[in-house]
Structure 1
Amino acid sequence: MHAVPAERISTANDLPIQDRGRYVLYWMRAARRPFWNFSLQHAVQRAIELQRPLLIVETLACDEPCANLRHHHFALDGMADNARQFADKSVAYHPFVEQQPGQIGALLTQIGQETCLLVTDEHPLLEQRQQLSALAKALPICIEVIDGNGILPLRATDRDFTTAYSFRRFLQRQLAGHLLTMPLADPLRETRLPQLKKKPEILSKPESTFSDNLLKGQHNSLYQLPIDQQVQPVKQSGGYQAAEVLFERFLAEGLPRYVEQRNQPEREITSGLSAHLRWGHISPHQLVQRLLTQEGWTPGHLSLECRGQRSGWWGLNENSEAFLDQLITWRELGYQLCHRRDDYQQVDSLPEWAQQTLNHHADDPRPYLYSAEELAASQTHDALWNAAQRQLVREGRIHNYLRMLWGKKILEWSPSPKAALKVMIDLNDRLALDGRDPNSYSGIGWCLGRFDRAWGPERPIFGKIRYMSSLNTARKVSVKNYLRRYGPD
């Protein structure tokens, strides 16, 4: 068993390990997968060192912002995958779907009384950090927090990055060493841990066994939960198995055409893994390793020049380099932002130049103004925007290129940048399977100037914010079939 790099390990309190505890507890809340999981790897290592059984508890909250049927269905697919995978392993796995607010905290507090050590996933979102802080105050045991969020550890830098270029340049100087410290593909392979002879009594109570029925496909029980019942499930399946199938298909069919066609809404060229990454069903480390292995890559391919260039640094073909830039540079830029700031959902977190230009044009006349309800219902004059919003409602996603247009037009049609940001976050968090994710918040903020630069000419409403229009988009990419596919019901 290989040790997890020290810079990926932190503690939520200063308490010691309880030698009298019966087991090591891994609270699975972000890295929801059995493979390529630094947290699971560390929990296994601790269980070996302490000669204790390992109890894995994966939780799904009902009181998180925007909890709904769509998100719960997707997460439950992953839980079912995990239950099957852990069934014949030397660990005890227990899925727990909260039925009333506060049950997860009560569950962990009670289980923690018999725990010698609690290991959990680090998550950069504010509410997740606050939840962990509250648990650390309630539990009299050591809590170790493991960062498996990206190829670059969250604490590998102590500075803010204002552009993708500056972050990419930093990555090119620092990333090589982290590529050599990947998590184990299967932390439980050929591992024998002591058996947990008796689960904590609370795991046998009705509020705990409720989750077992859900994993057996009895999803009607979801309609009993205090979650948003209006946002319906979609066809896309969650779980690590579905994620791996998607990625293999992308490598074979999408990657060879990625640069040329990824911005075409009528082509399924992108990986489609954004939701799986958000829910932790697949690791970015696994994706990077799989791609590099396919390309026959070695560290010797890396360029000695670290100038922040978009291509050429990896020593790969242009398609692979473009995909890695999206997966690492742009995704992890969002994670760094949310890790360092609490105001990432606020206009005040935008760059100073963006705030100034938006404020300067705050009183500009808006040719069109739409309410949040009209936008949610795709009731605008813009057929392409309406189609993108319908895709979000029906499928829980928008094509990546049109997602940028979607955000820009909300800015144009809202009474203020603050109102626009609120609408974008609300629609995305509720409807998108990858909502409530650092990568989503950075993408939404980009529509208002985050990680971008000032553009000219200066325009009404937008000021120096990069401008997009549906007319220009339709000239650049083919949308005829997209409009037909996502037309009115």
Structure 2
Amino acid sequence: MSSSKTPSDDSHFSSLFGSEFDVTRARSLTSTNTIKQSADCVLLWMNRDQRVQDNWAMVAGCKLAKIKKVPLKVVFGCFPTFGSMSTRQYNFMFEGLKEVEKELIDLKIPFEVVCGDPGVEVLKYAKSSNPVAVLTDFFPLRNCNEWSTAVASGLDSVSVPLIQIDAHNVVPAWLASDKQEVGARTLRPKIHKVYQKYLTRFPPVEPNPEGTKMPTPTDWTSVMKSISSEVEVTTIPDTFKPGKSAGMSVFSSFCESRLKNYADNRNDPNLHVQSDMSPYIRFGQVSFQRLALSIRDLKRHSSGTAAYIEEGVVRRELADNYCLYNDNYDNLNGAAGWARESLMLHSTDKREYIYTKTQLESAQTHDDLWNAAQIQLVEEGKMHGFLRMYWAKKILEWTPSPENALEWGLYLNDKYSFDGSCPNGYVGVGWSVMGIHDMGWKEREVFGKIRFMNYNGCKRKFKVGEFVQNYPQASVNAIAQGGEKSKDPAPRKNKKQKVSK
């Protein structure tokens, strides 16, 4: 984790950002935390939150620039690799950034992309820009912490503060809790206590003064060529059109036709009631705070609204909390002691089926439901949330070791899902494989005390055959592997065990 001062140390920021910005959303990442009296600009290093309006980091930058009577500039550090992030996701991100650039040009706010290690290239750009301060957003993953630490160290050498602003969460992560929470039941009351305080409306980002010098528009072809990711997925589904405008259109459709059924039917993959907003939230193209405000203003479908806020605020911020306070969010060392010990105890248990990573990626298992879920992920860029729990638990059951299960599950999710390579993905797969935010259950082979899910349990939840029919190859592959169409290939005991998350 990068070192940082507590928000209370930065109370002197209040006079610099104005009354419309809550200073507790910000914290210093540098030992230098005094804003320079004069320089050439305020620089915003955009990373996780890739939008102009509804962005607390942009709001703070705009306010500070106006007070200091200098223009606001925005830089995006294009990282050549990011875990298992694939070309599919890079394309989605770049298309959204094109929209950001267009909006910033209209506001006379310079926008530039620097390619390479952001810890090096953003620092170099910041020093050349002579800013009064550098602002950035919050992303609690190791890569981002390493970049922030490197930039902070370099800025300290020239006495320029680096100020981080949580523009992603309704309640800033470091204020929601100062430790890793056990689960939703412990984080929920802490968030609810201050939720209304932070659920405020966004002031607009205002244009720079006339005459602000603008850079040459970004050469996006060259930017794409700078990507060195070895994870290539040439197929780009048309299920999600990138950008804030497209995202808000999807949300409008959700509110009009699906919100009313969300509470009761969101775990049924055959009923399209999910919001489909996770790709837009993952890349910061849409602010969840904007969605929360909009859904509050509707004043209807109270049960659906409550369920959606629970998922979007408590559950999503719980994932950020885990990654913020646990650097081992993507390996078994991040599991609770009981879970890790139980998995290790059963790591050599005989598996009824063992599949290779290639077989799993190609949906070549005996289980038609699992195959259908994997095909949905590959072809559509997102898997239904309930199915991801079943999908990940079966990877644990069918791979040589728990380490393989976690690694391969995260690889497939991060490679194909538009909302992969983020805290929600790490915690979603981790919940299934290593019991993150869960409790110990009755001990069994392979799973140990990790919660178990099976095919028959899914059949009690929804019409499995109906879902599988949407992906005909799933049954073909299952039969080829010795399974049967729409039947549990390996009945298990303890069928009365609950499977809801």
User: Normalising by the residue count of structure 2, what TM-score does the alignment of the two structures yield?
Assistant: 0.84
The aligned counterpart of 1:383 is: 368
Query: Residue 111 of structure 2: SS of its match in structure 1?
Result: strand
The aligned counterpart of 1:231 is: 233
The aligned counterpart of 1:301 is: none
Aligned length: 448
Query: Residue 469 of structure 2: SS of its match in structure 1?
Result: helix
Whole-Å separation in 2 of the counterparts to 1:444 and 1:196: 50
Whole-Å separation in 1 of the counterparts to 2:227 and 2:448: 45
The aligned counterpart of 2:133 is: 117
CA offset at residue 238 of structure 1? 1.3
Whole-Å separation in 1 of the counterparts to 2:472 and 2:114: 36
The aligned counterpart of 1:160 is: 180
CA offset at residue 183 of structure 1? 5.0
The aligned counterpart of 1:78 is: 96
The aligned counterpart of 1:309 is: none
CA offset at residue 469 of structure 1? 1.1
Residue among 48, 69, 72 paired with 1:30: 48
- Change in Cα spacing, 1:209 to 1:332, as seen in structure 2 (3 Å) is closer
Whole-Å separation in 2 of the counterparts to 1:185 and 1:459: 54
Q: List aligned pairs for 1:474-485, cutoff 5 A.
A: 474-485=459-470
Whole-Å separation in 1 of the counterparts to 2:181 and 2:119: 35
Query: Residue 363 of structure 1: SS of its match in structure 2?
Result: coil
Q: Determine if the alignment matches structure 1 residue 283 to structure 2 residue 287.
A: yes
> How far does the alpha carbon of each residue in 1:115-158 deviate from its partner, in whole angstroms, 9 at most, with x for none?
22211112111110111111122232221111122122112121
Q: After the TM superposition, which of the residue ranges 67-76 and 383-392 deviates more from structure 2? A: 67-76
Contact preservation (8 Å) 2:81, 2:229: yes
- Change in Cα spacing, 1:413 to 1:146, as seen in structure 2 (3 Å) is same
CA offset at residue 112 of structure 1? 2.6
> How far does the alpha carbon of each residue in 1:75-103 deviate from its partner, in whole angstroms, 9 at most, with x for none?
12211221232232142233x263xx337
Whole-Å separation in 2 of the counterparts to 1:24 and 1:67: 31
Contact preservation (8 Å) 1:4, 1:183: no
Unaligned runs of 5+ in 2: 1-17, 475-501
Contact preservation (8 Å) 1:434, 1:440: yes
The aligned counterpart of 1:146 is: 165
The aligned counterpart of 2:306 is: 321
Contact preservation (8 Å) 2:40, 2:70: yes
CA offset at residue 230 of structure 1? 2.8
Query: Residue 116 of structure 1: SS of its match in structure 2?
Result: strand
Whole-Å separation in 1 of the counterparts to 2:107 and 2:279: 27
Query: Residue 184 of structure 1: SS of its match in structure 2?
Result: coil
The aligned counterpart of 1:57 is: 75
Q: Which amino acid aligns with 2:413?
A: N
The aligned counterpart of 2:145 is: 129
Q: Determine if the alignment matches structure 1 residue 14 to structure 2 residue 31.
A: yes
Q: State the identity %.
A: 28
Whole-Å separation in 2 of the counterparts to 1:108 and 1:37: 22
- Change in Cα spacing, 1:433 to 1:103, as seen in structure 2 (3 Å) is same
Query: Residue 193 of structure 2: SS of its match in structure 1?
Result: helix
- Change in Cα spacing, 1:104 to 1:357, as seen in structure 2 (3 Å) is closer
Query: Residue 219 of structure 2: SS of its match in structure 1?
Result: helix
- Change in Cα spacing, 1:254 to 1:366, as seen in structure 2 (3 Å) is same
Q: After the TM superposition, which of the residue ranges 469-478 and 425-434 deviates more from structure 2? A: 469-478
Query: Residue 58 of structure 1: SS of its match in structure 2?
Result: strand
CA offset at residue 247 of structure 1? 0.7
Query: Residue 473 of structure 2: SS of its match in structure 1?
Result: coil
> How far does the alpha carbon of each residue in 1:282-330 deviate from its partner, in whole angstroms, 9 at most, with x for none?
111101100111117xxxxxxxxxxxxxxxxxxx722211111111111
Whole-Å separation in 2 of the counterparts to 1:103 and 1:31: 15
> How far does the alpha carbon of each residue in 1:6-55 deviate from its partner, in whole angstroms, 9 at most, with x for none?
22111121234344421111111111111211000000011011100111
Q: Determine if the alignment matches structure 1 residue 333 to structure 2 residue 318.
A: yes
Whole-Å separation in 1 of the counterparts to 2:218 and 2:270: 44
Query: Residue 25 of structure 1: SS of its match in structure 2?
Result: strand
User: Normalising by the residue count of structure 1, what TM-score does the alignment of the two structures yield?
Assistant: 0.86
Q: Which amino acid aligns with 1:149?
A: H
CA offset at residue 107 of structure 1? 5.1
Q: After the TM superposition, which of the residue ranges 165-174 and 31-40 deviates more from structure 2? A: 165-174
The aligned counterpart of 1:241 is: 245
Contact preservation (8 Å) 1:61, 1:104: no
Query: Residue 467 of structure 2: SS of its match in structure 1?
Result: helix
Whole-Å separation in 1 of the counterparts to 2:210 and 2:119: 24
The aligned counterpart of 2:14 is: none
- Change in Cα spacing, 1:225 to 1:319, as seen in structure 2 (3 Å) is closer
Whole-Å separation in 2 of the counterparts to 1:478 and 1:357: 33
Contact preservation (8 Å) 2:166, 2:172: yes
Q: List aligned pairs for 1:152-231, cutoff 5 A.
A: 152-156=171-175, 157-179=177-199, 182=200, 184=202, 186-188=204-206, 192-195=207-210, 197-198=212-213, 209-211=218-220, 222=224, 225-228=227-230, 230-231=232-233
The aligned counterpart of 2:258 is: 254
Whole-Å separation in 2 of the counterparts to 1:21 and 1:185: 25
The aligned counterpart of 2:356 is: 371
Query: Residue 272 of structure 1: SS of its match in structure 2?
Result: coil
Contact preservation (8 Å) 2:85, 2:420: no
The aligned counterpart of 2:107 is: 89
- Change in Cα spacing, 1:126 to 1:53, as seen in structure 2 (3 Å) is same
CA offset at residue 224 of structure 1? 7.0
Q: Which amino acid aligns with 1:24?
A: V
CA offset at residue 231 of structure 1? 0.9
The aligned counterpart of 1:303 is: none
Contact preservation (8 Å) 2:107, 2:208: no
- Change in Cα spacing, 1:355 to 1:270, as seen in structure 2 (3 Å) is same
Contact preservation (8 Å) 1:385, 1:406: yes
Q: CA RMSD in A?
A: 2.2
The aligned counterpart of 1:268 is: 272
Whole-Å separation in 2 of the counterparts to 1:242 and 1:2: 32
> How far does the alpha carbon of each residue in 1:193-232 deviate from its partner, in whole angstroms, 9 at most, with x for none?
3346445xxx65xxx8422x57xxxxxx846742346312
Contact preservation (8 Å) 1:69, 1:229: yes
Contact preservation (8 Å) 1:160, 1:337: yes
Contact preservation (8 Å) 2:75, 2:114: no
Q: Which amino acid aligns with 2:450?
A: I
Q: Compare relative contact order (CA 8 Å, sep 6+) and give the higher one, 1 or 2.
A: 1
